[in-house]
Structure 1
Amino acid sequence: MKLPIKTERLVITKLALTDLPAYEALISIPVIAEGAGFNLVSNQKMLGEIAKRQLAHPNSVGIWLDHQLVGAILLYERIEQTGEPDTHNLELSYFLHPDFWNQGLMTEAMSGLIEALKRDHTVQSLSAEVFIDNLPSKGLIQKVGFQELATVTDPLVGKEKVLYQLKLQ
């Protein structure tokens, strides 16, 4: 995927270790921490190491609005039944600073990213998991073309979530 991706209002680019302070500030926001599972990490040093690992991953991108990091989209290889990573089918995680909710920014970012992935022809599909009570996120995922596959219970938090998939090719 070719970066940066420029949309009408946003720039989507690879996150770097220099973005760590802004990234840690984002993932420390309680609603983001809860949605992404960061609230399950009680040790601040461990949370910092998780953040560094996410920033170092080649498919972790930041969403920038007026030179401010307002969100992120993280893409990870799905693990096959053999235990090997599948680089053609990725799992998607995303979050946006709550001050910027309900402005269409995440829809804009996701749409730009999906179009870039389609042009690249390397990734065949994306999958996402959304807690069943997160109606805005479910609406976003459906708006950008994901199809519902199943509903399962998250083993860590005991809440139901919906599994989605988007075929890119």
Structure 2
Amino acid sequence: MSEIIIEPAKNNNNLGALIKLLDDEKLTQTVGLLLPLQEEKRAQAIKMFICHNHVMVVKINEDIVGMIVLSAWYGDEGKRIAHHYEVGYLLQQDQWNKGIMTAALQKFISILPSKITIHAECKQSNYRSQRVLIKCGFIYDKDDLWQCIIN
């Protein structure tokens, strides 16, 4: 397998490739990322998303094939919960079943600070994503929620 690199999406060289990755409407809908259809508005929405979240791109041979997003976690009452975050990720379909996202997410988790809890939402029918979460130390919580405690 080629070397998997993760790096911040805020690098301006990544924006065009990230926009291209997110042009796959089926992929973005699968993960629940709703973006405008108009190209200019879509690019602006992606820029804003990057500014408001911790977004890492996943690269293989300098090509962006996926992304990982870490954002604030809010409780049932809509209040921000300290030291709790939500992770989300997506990967080009032609790269599925190669262990890429598992390796990328493991690298990502290894650079996070200690004493935090990471939550992930994963549909019960999404077995591929569930395998990624399990291999990365997440445990099933309830409904579609998983969590990982970083000690």
Q: Is the 8 A contact 2:35 2:42 kept in 1?
A: no
CA distance in 2, matches of 1:30, 1:139: 24
Q: Is the 8 A contact 1:15 1:56 kept in 2?
A: no
CA distance in 2, matches of 1:27, 1:131: 20
Given the superposition, is the C-alpha separation of residues 96 and 61 from structure 1 closer, same or farther in structure 2, using an over 3 Å criterion? same
Report the count of equivalent residues.
149
Correspondent of 2:45 among 34, 47, 50 = 50
Q: By how many angstroms is 1:18 displaced?
A: 3.5
CA distance in 2, matches of 1:50, 1:94: 17
For 1:15, the equivalent position in structure 2 comes to 9
For 1:105, the equivalent position in structure 2 comes to 100
Q: Is the 8 A contact 1:15 1:60 kept in 2?
A: yes
Q: By how many angstroms is 1:35 displaced?
A: 1.5
Q: Is the 8 A contact 1:32 1:95 kept in 2?
A: yes
CA distance in 1, matches of 2:137, 2:124: 18
Secondary structure at the aligned position of 2:98 is classed as: coil
Given the superposition, is the C-alpha separation of residues 43 and 68 from structure 1 closer, same or farther in structure 2, using an over 3 Å criterion? same
Secondary structure at the aligned position of 2:137 is classed as: coil
Given the superposition, is the C-alpha separation of residues 56 and 23 from structure 1 closer, same or farther in structure 2, using an over 3 Å criterion? same
Where structure 2 has 5 or more consecutive residues not aligned to the other structure, the ranges are none
Q: By how many angstroms is 1:43 displaced?
A: 4.5
For 2:142, the equivalent position in structure 1 comes to 150
Identity of aligned residues (%): 23
For 1:167, the equivalent position in structure 2 comes to 149
- Structure 1: 4+ residue segments shifted above 2 A: 36-50, 54-58, 79-87
For 1:133, the equivalent position in structure 2 comes to 125
Q: By how many angstroms is 1:48 displaced?
A: 2.3
Given the superposition, is the C-alpha separation of residues 87 and 25 from structure 1 closer, same or farther in structure 2, using an over 3 Å criterion? farther
CA distance in 1, matches of 2:16, 2:45: 13
CA offsets 1:103-133 (integer angstroms, 9 cap, x no match): 111010011111222xx32x51100001221
Given the superposition, is the C-alpha separation of residues 129 and 82 from structure 1 closer, same or farther in structure 2, using an over 3 Å criterion? closer
Given the superposition, is the C-alpha separation of residues 86 and 43 from structure 1 closer, same or farther in structure 2, using an over 3 Å criterion? farther
Q: Is the 8 A contact 1:61 1:72 kept in 2?
A: yes
For 2:85, the equivalent position in structure 1 comes to 90
Secondary structure at the aligned position of 1:25 is classed as: helix
- In the alignment, residue 56 of structure 1 is paired with which amino acid? C
For 1:34, the equivalent position in structure 2 comes to 29
Given the superposition, is the C-alpha separation of residues 115 and 34 from structure 1 closer, same or farther in structure 2, using an over 3 Å criterion? same
CA distance in 2, matches of 1:103, 1:83: 37
TM score, norm. by length of structure 2 = 0.85
TM score, norm. by length of structure 1 = 0.77
- In the alignment, residue 37 of structure 1 is paired with which amino acid? G
